[in-house]
Structure 1
């Protein structure tokens, strides 16, 4: 049963990817028991003092899947998931894959603004949250959201304090039925591998984030091939530092590739060095994924740490482009190999390879993981640029979906008629065969790897009575790469402060990482030849204004 709003691959591509072995004809949940049958009592996940074997993981996931069915969830339903890095999150994800329920993977930073939109767009039947996280009451927010939907929507809660009107997730994970019998019953109702397995969030360029539907077959290949390219095997110990709701730590290569290739996953709740370094020493972690801002903290902390980081072989850095001079410091500081990662939740993944020379690793953002990844680099008129020239990257392939979910108007702009995804990124081929990312066409602000839609920020600021016109731009930030700056033209006789702007974002329930860090009041905006705001010129004006103030 194909969900309404999903854009399938054309039949000829389905045949091509299947016959070539990229797609293996099994849903993601099928592989859970393949791993357990092969590895049994080997540890799959470590979460603090708790160690979960492959057999444990399969049995807990099946118990949860069965209990989700008892709650009324069925194949084709969607649920909104907002959880911290825990073994229960992995078990929930895999339980959903067993029964054809697709999780919409939200971030813990999301609030009413984002969650209401996602719940409505995906028509979710359940919301899964922690009771509280970092002093925020997620359970209350989820309860209010579920009540506002006007349709049945269960609230599942992970934590010590579960409201009596909600469902305790840990109780649903408890094993009850005989595992072999339950396994056979769930196997018999396994979802079609071409169906949607999960939803990832796009940074988006128009308003709130779009959601990306990933199928069982494409995402399994995404993870499996990523792991193969990165050298994952049974000796891999993958430290989960970034929120696992992101594509990077979930399946690129991340948690899923580690499990596919027989390694061990180690969960931690924070990427801070004081949390991560002891975990590396204790669990002998071999690989992890970081965004540049976190990598910077690790490099600085490594100079004085007393923890043994010698097990670390590979540190993957992605989310935004890193300066070659800083890239050259990462490997020596942490005693490991740097791997640059350039990819997107919409599909295409590129990695430098673990055995590439440092001249490649430090200066490029990698090359595609699959021989089936198709690449075009085009100019503003859609014509291919000469080799070495800079242009917009277009792509299609066996793990690059053909459209955003329930977004036909946006898909008409984001995809060509013959299925090429317009990434919005400006790249060029390096002579060594890797990409060099030069910038972007899309109107995004990249704050520590989180992609923020400038139009979404502008839409909130535009609610202020004082604002006549607004434009959001990215400015350099020494720690997070970029910060959100809003430039406004005010109505006559009005004033505005940054505190007032940020108070509005808080009142609107917007995730905190999207709140502006700088306000600039201007008399007018520079315009392009076609009358649009010239954000490049505006950014230069604001930077010059900052230099003048500093002088």
Structure 2
């Protein structure tokens, strides 16, 4: 049975299905408009229009579902959560990679008016306890662990009461006083219930109760607490509404011209907005088929592209670089590839060009934003000229206002002048969970979100991100933008990747340091790097220090941790002599 409790405006509801640009697929809602729908209403409408369209096709796990079948899985688990005592407004946390249970938990949680809390897959005990306590999590769904994080051991240490907790009884623990349930996806553990046991509880709750809760929700209700990546200290819980996330995903999918003809591989993490919104929501608001990978592996991703005839996928620049350089890349069929998104960190122009030329991503786009803006603020369009898609982050998304302001006075700046990027619109968060002061610092009295990013707008209305205010290097009173230097150093044929930071300097306040990853088999000296910069750029932009490394420190979302690089570099430069760090 398909429920019909969506609440579109009459104009939108009566609209016919639309054809994608190539005429090969359909989508439901007109491009560049906002829709007044909650997540359960979106799933109902997509299922009504495309019941037999594949929603999920895993290439590495046994999970293939049509939209109708997936919706049944969601309704079952929604009733399970109700049986476990989850009430509207409660927090349900998911600590897992991109497994089927992640997607089911998201849609089931948002169906019953609860809020999904995303947990970074790389968290250890300190971050996990902070997040679960700060978010007031009621129910936790989790895997056994991932890479070097043992989730089971972490939870047993935080909640020693698990060992003696009565089976299938609500939990009561000292360090997490709001936590009542832990659902384990992969194993049976004391004090926890397995996924299968949780699913079996659905029979205790009538379908009508889940439907009643879905009907009772408003589009402006919170649906997700998306924790920031925490690249600077402890993360903050960003409260996002159905209206925020549904429409941001829809508009991003509109800009990509997604439809039922597309098959999207997802190997960016779902705990991050990149996976949750730019991939899942963008795809599912357009009836697109999702082909998730539990985690990023260049070998498995290239195999998935071959097997599923993938038309689009997203990634941070390092993911694309790793795939381009993999031994199986020449054996991969990219003939079906069309579009995707590169985001998460500044993209070198040469990587974009390689992706267009070698991966056949002729319609690749770039999205700029942050978690606090759901996350997209700007996006290049698939029909923009290639130079716009390579050199800018595009223009504002529909019904999002963007401008550049002076970092000190807050006054609006003209085109082609660097300042802080600020945004305003439907996509801006409700605030940080239980952090009113932090919210007030991020969103001013006029509703503008201050991103902390440096940018400029060109004469065509496209935006160019030039760095972070905190990353800007101030050398002898002059502002120097790391990205400008990075983009140039990256053009050297021996260099695979580069990051530039500022380090303390007694004379100038800050000095420039470049971390360089060389291509396989290449050799280079620090002086070669400096001379390459010095001969093409102003002398003051020449790195004083050059460090040859094999990788950059990153968080699980693929963001490079420049603050850690600065801390590590300061220690090395101040405390020891290192052969890999060479002074000018």
State TM-score, norm by structure 2. 0.71
Aligned to 1:441: 469
Aligned residue in 1 for 2:166: none
- After superposition, the Cα gap between the structure-2 partners of 1:23 and 1:371, relative to the gap in structure 1 and judged at 3 Å, is closer
Aligned residue runs from structure 1 range 328-347, under 5 A: 328-337=353-362, 338-347=364-373
Residue 404 to residue 176, structure 1, CA distance change in 2 (3 Å)? closer
Counterpart contact for 2:244–2:427, Cα < 8 Å: yes
The answer to whether structure 1 residue 92 and structure 2 residue 118 are counterparts is: no
Q: CA deviation at 1:287?
A: 0.6
Whole-angstrom distance in 1 between the partners of 2:451 and 2:149? 35
Q: CA deviation at 1:412?
A: 2.6
Query: Is 1:228 aligned with 2:254?
Result: yes
Alpha-carbon distance, 1:130 to partner? 0.2
Task: Verify the 8 A CA contact 2:431 2:439 in the aligned structure 1.
Answer: yes
Cα distance in 1 for partners of 2:297, 2:518 equals: 14
The whole-number CA distance in structure 2 between the counterparts of 1:175 and 1:127 is: 16
Task: Report SS of the residue matched to 2:295.
Answer: coil
- Of stretches 202-211 and 393-402 in structure 1, the one that deviates more from structure 2 is 202-211
* Structure 1 partner of 2:210: 186
Task: Tell me which residue corresponds to 1:490.
Answer: none
Runs of at least 5 residues in structure 2 that lack an aligned partner in the other structure: 1-30, 160-172, 473-481, 484-500, 502-509, 520-552
1:145 CA displacement: 3.1
What is the Cα deviation at residue 286 of structure 1? 0.6
SS at match of 2:345: coil
The alignment status of 1:278 with 2:303, answered yes or no, reads yes
Deviations 1:157-196 (A, max 9, x none): 111x2214211124434696599x61x4322222232111
CA distance in 2, matches of 1:330, 1:43: 27
After superposition, residues 518-533 of structure 1 pair within 5 angstroms as 518-521=568-571
Q: Any residues of structure 2 matched to 1:132-281 within 5 Å, and which?
A: 132-134=145-147, 136-146=149-159, 147=173, 148-159=175-186, 161-173=187-199, 177=203, 182=207, 184-190=208-214, 191-203=217-229, 207-252=233-278, 254-281=279-306
C-alpha distance in structure 1 between counterparts of 2:255 and 2:240, whole Å: 21
* Contact 1:157 1:169 (C-alpha < 8 Å) held by counterparts: yes
Distance 1:379 1:151, change over 3 A: closer
Asked whether the 8 Å contact 1:45–1:51 carries over to 2, the reply is yes
Relative distance call for 1:175 and 1:166 in structure 2 (3 A) is closer
**Superposition RMSD in Å:** 3.4
Give 1:8's aligned residue: none
Conserved 8 A contact 1:205-1:442: no
Instruction: Report the Cα offset of residue 100 of structure 1.
Output: 1.2
Distance of 1:39 and 1:178 partners within structure 2: 30
3-state SS in 2 of match to 1:312: coil
Query: Aligned partners of 2:518 and 2:428: how far apart in 1?
Result: 31
- Mapping of residues 387-536 of structure 1, within 5 Å: 387-442=415-470, 476=515, 478=517, 516=564, 518-521=568-571
- Distance (whole Å) between structure 1 residues aligned to residue 471 and residue 154 of structure 2: 30
Return the alpha-carbon distance in structure 2 between the equivalents of residues 168 and 342 of structure 1.
39
Give the direction of change, closer, same or farther, for the CA distance of 1:174–1:40 in structure 2 (3 Å limit).
farther
Shift of 1:377: 3.1
Query: TM-score, normalising length from structure 1?
Result: 0.75
Higher relative contact order (CA 8 A, sep 6+): 1
Aligned to 1:3: none
Inter-partner Cα distance in structure 2 for 1:512 and 1:391: 22
Q: Residue 399 of structure 2 contacts residue 426 of structure 2 at CA under 8 Å; is this kept in 1?
A: no
SS at match of 2:452: strand
CA distance in 2, matches of 1:238, 1:479: 32
Counterpart CA distance in 2 for 1:239 and 1:216 is 24
Question: CA–CA distance in 2 between the matches of 1:166 and 1:479?
Answer: 48
Q: Distance in 1 between the 2:294 and 2:63 partners?
A: 14
Look up the SS of the partner of 1:322 in the other structure.
coil
Task: Indicate if the aligned counterparts of 2:137 and 2:178 stay in contact, CA closer than 8 A.
Answer: no
Q: Which residue of 1 aligns with 2:135?
A: 122
CA drift of 1:198 comes to 0.4
Q: Which of residues 65, 81, 93 is equivalent to 1:68?
A: 81
> Residues 247 and 40 from structure 1, CA distance in 2 versus in 1: closer, same or farther, beyond 3 angstroms?
same
Which position in structure 1 is the counterpart of 2:52? 41
Summarize the Cα distance change of 1:479–1:115 in structure 2 as closer, same or farther, 3 Å threshold: farther
- Give the drift of 1:296: 0.9
Shift in alpha-carbon separation, 1:88–1:479, aligned structure 2, 3 A: farther
Give 1:519 deviation, angstroms. 4.7
> 1:206: Cα distance to partner?
5.8
State the SS of the aligned residue for 1:436: strand
Cα offset, 1:477, TM superposition: 5.1
C-alpha displacement of 1:282: 0.6
